[in-house]
Amino acid sequence: MIDKIYGLSGMKNLRVLSLGRNYIKAISGLEGVSDTLEELWISYNLIEKLKGISVLKKLKVLYMSNNLVKDWVEFNRLADLPMLEDLLFAGNPLVESMEESIWRTEASKRLLPLKKLDGETVIREDADSQNQQGAGQADK
């Protein structure tokens, strides 16, 4: 079992890294693949803090369900990932502490590039569609 991420500096072309079901406690040691890594699969670990994730500017997919993230301060670090579009975060204490609809609304507000959250498409209502709906109702 792996408890720490290290030894990736020689993997300059790595695009997908799967480290699920280990004993990893921190997201660190990823600097060597920060320019290429697009997918990080790190579910079922012991991660509480997301410090260190911000180096992954090309990350599009992050599967980190069933870890130990419990507060929005840590979750908000994911906003530093400008290309993140697919996030699996179910099973973390933060998610389990609220209703699913509240979780989905809050998470998608904080991560604007997100297209998929916990396996489901993120649906956003933009201001134009809300205005059109309101105008249509006024005409009736």
Q: State pLDDT tens for residues 86-123.
A: 999 999 999 999 999 999 999 999 999 999 999 999 99
pLDDT-based confidence at residue 58 (cuts at 50, 70, 90):
very high
Q: Is residue 3 part of a domain?
A: no
Does an H or E element contain 114, and which? none
pLDDT higher than 90, residue 17: yes
Whole-number percent of the chain with pLDDT over 70: 89
Q: Which residue has the higher pLDDT, 1 or 103?
A: 103
Residue range of the domain that includes 59: 16-139
CATH of the domain at 85: 3.80.10.10
Beta-carbon neighbour count of residue 132 at 10 Å? 11
Burial of 13 by CB count in 10 Å (0-12 exposed, 13-18 middle, 19+ buried)? exposed
pLDDT-based confidence at residue 125 (cuts at 50, 70, 90):
confident
Q: Is residue 35 part of a domain?
A: yes
Counted domains in the chain: 1
Burial of 131 by CB count in 10 Å (0-12 exposed, 13-18 middle, 19+ buried)? exposed
Question: How far is the C-alpha of 54 from the C-alpha of 104, rounded, in Å?
Answer: 22
